[in-house]
Amino acid sequence: MKKIYFLIALLVLAFGFFLYANEPILHQSEKGKITIPFGRSYDYNDILVKRAVDGDTLVLESGERVRLIGIDTPEMHESSKLYRDSQRSKQDVKTIKEMGRRAYEFTKNLVEGKRVRLEFDVEKYDKYDRLLVYVYLKDGTFVNAEIIKQGYASLMTFPPNVKYADLFRQLYREAYENKRGLWAD
């Protein structure tokens, strides 16, 4: 029994040291949710994209999900949005899913496993608690703009996050007129 108490005490001490060494700070999100970040703090000027979830959503090394501001790529998974988009666009679900897969592959090849810099606009989080961001590769490539420029996203502008709306509109028009990416078909 003494061994069990000793192990518990050791774990408590180790956890306490971990907390002390990593200086946890209370953080209150815009939705009022309080979190205590543990472990490493992350620098949004130099953070790794762990994976692409789809064409416009990423997961960072911190575990945070980010939503690329100003763009909307087709859905590739079953969802109510997939069916709404199908009704709105008059395209069948299979076609939209294939377009979503192509947009995902483009985004994945562009950013997955790479270190990036994040830029915020007015609002930092969306209603799903994803970070709302503009993403830049280390070589300066503006990821949100590149996805539109190459024809893998439509525009999705929600004020007050409109910093690059005019640029995105111009890039979208050029991609559509020049039949790039998803507009090639």
Q: CA 122 to CA 161: how far, in whole Å?
A: 6
pTM: 0.78
pLDDT digits (tens, 9 = 90+) for 58-76: 999 999 999 999 999 999 9
Percentage of the chain beyond pLDDT 70 is 81
Domain residue ranges in the chain: 1-41, 42-184
Name 50's Cβ contacts closer than 8 Å, sequence gap at least 6.
Answer: 58, 59, 60, 61, 63, 112, 113
Q: Which CATH number fits domain 42-184: 3.40.50.1360, 3.40.190.10, 2.40.50.90, 1.10.540.10?
A: 2.40.50.90
pLDDT of residue 21: 42
Q: Which residues are catalytic?
A: 67, 75, 130
